[in-house]
């Protein structure tokens, strides 16, 4: 079923057992992003030590796609450098814009390639991107502060 390409097992696993959920008090930037069309919300705390992403924590409410996506992002980007994260976020954004034509580069995106199916459902792309846009915003804020 087409629906299974959207709701991959890994995505539902992250939804049921979200990683890095629960805001931590150690952060260098905090952002709150909302999807005004559906009301999904994510607050994301980011701690950057030097050039390295040391802690990502988040809290939020929303659909399985938005919540699983930020959960996976947190796992994927923790420990990466800011410049590595830029490449990954760009790659994920491109995958989401692919309208189902791209599979995603597992070398860059690792587990996040499972979101490839989401790009076939235009109504859900924003769900998948919510956490990533929040992270991008937090990363810019952190960089601003360190300069």
Can you give the binding site for another protein, defined by CB under 8 A?
A: 1-3, 6-7, 12, 37-41, 61-66, 121, 123-124, 127
Cα distance between residue 25 and residue 28, in whole Å = 10
> In this complex, which beta carbon is closest to another protein, that of residue 1 or of residue 144?
1
Residues 37/133/140/97 CA torsion (nearest 10 deg): -120
Cα distance between residue 19 and residue 36, in whole Å = 24
> In this complex, which beta carbon is closest to another protein, that of residue 80 or of residue 120?
120
> In this complex, which beta carbon is closest to another protein, that of residue 64 or of residue 143?
64
Q: How far is the CB of 36 from another protein (least distance, A)?
A: 8
CB atoms within 10 A of CB 68: 29
> In this complex, which beta carbon is closest to another protein, that of residue 25 or of residue 37?
37
Tell whether the torsion through CA atoms of 83, 84, 85 and 88 is positive or negative: positive
């Amino acid at each position: 079923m087409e629906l299974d390409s959207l709701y991959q097992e890994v995505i539902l696993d992250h939804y049921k057992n979200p990683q890095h959920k629960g805001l931590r008090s150690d952060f260098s930037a905090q952002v709150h992003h909302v999807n005004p069309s559906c009301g999904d919300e994510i607050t994301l705390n980011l701690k950057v030590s030097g050039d390295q992403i040391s802690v990502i924590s988040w809290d939020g409410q929303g659909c399985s796609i938005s919540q699983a996506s930020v959960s996976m992002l947190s796992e994927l980007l923790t420990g990466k450098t800011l410049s590595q994260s830029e490449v990954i976020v760009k790659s994920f954004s491109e995958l989401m814009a692919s309208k189902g034509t791209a599979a995603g580069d597992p070398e860059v995106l690792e587990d996040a390639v499972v979101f490839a199916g989401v790009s076939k459902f235009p109504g859900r792309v924003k769900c998948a991107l919510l956490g990533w846009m929040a992270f991008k915003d937090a990363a810019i804020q952190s960089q601003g502060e360190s300069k």
